[in-house]
A = this chain, B = another copy of it.
Amino acid sequence: MSKIAVIIDDYFEDSEYTEPVSVFRAKGHDIIHVGLEKGKTVKGKKEQTPVVIDESVDMVGADHFDALFIPGGYSPDQLRAHPGAVAFAREFMQKNKPVFSICHGPQLLISADVIQGRTLTGWTSIIQDIKNAGATFVDKSVVTDRNLVTSRNPNDLPDFIHAALEKLA
């Protein structure tokens, strides 16, 4: 079974966190919430789903985990303002560990400068940012490019979760 780091902060899209995590746990995977401050409770944008941060992003690295999951909403925008969160995401990409990113998740990968030449999807508002970062944007429910699995929005969750599980198998 895999140890999955969920990098998360306030204003995450509730369902984009709750649904994948529920399935990952049901399949026996471990979920560790990584954020800006250990012990802090962060909340979802619409339903204020509470999530307690297990580990500070500055105290862990990709070697402690098997995969990275980046839920969407405005959480990625909050995280990408912090160099430690950007470096944490970059390490997973550099080590070719599975990275699951939905909605605004690619914003964190853009700040990490790791999507040039890659193929991915994401939420409508960040299409231009994805292209400007040197990646190829594809308008599909899920895109798998080597270690990187991306989806656009909550409607894509079934396909997103299915593709992510294949990387953990």
Contacts and interface: CB of A to CB of B under 8 A. Distances in A.
Interface SS of chain A:
helix
A132 B129 CA distance: 8
Contact of A107 (B113, B125, B134): B125
A129 B125 CA distance: 12
Copies in the assembly, this chain: 2
Contact of A111 (B11, B128, B133): B128
A81 B124 CA distance: 6
Contacts of A127: 111
Interface stretch (A32-40, A72-80, A91-99, A138-146): A72-80
A161 to B, nearest CB: 24
Contacts of A128: 80, 110-111, 113, 133
Nearest to A133: B132
Interface of A: 11, 74, 77-78, 80-81, 104, 107, 110-111, 113, 123-125, 127-129, 132-134
B110 A132 contact: yes
Given A74-B74, A132-B133, A133-B132, A125 B111 contact: yes
Given A74-B74, A77-B104, A129-B132, 13 more contacts: A11-B74, A80-B125, A80-B128, A81-B123, A81-B124, A81-B125, A107-B125, A110-B132, A111-B125, A111-B128, A113-B128, A128-B133, A129-B129
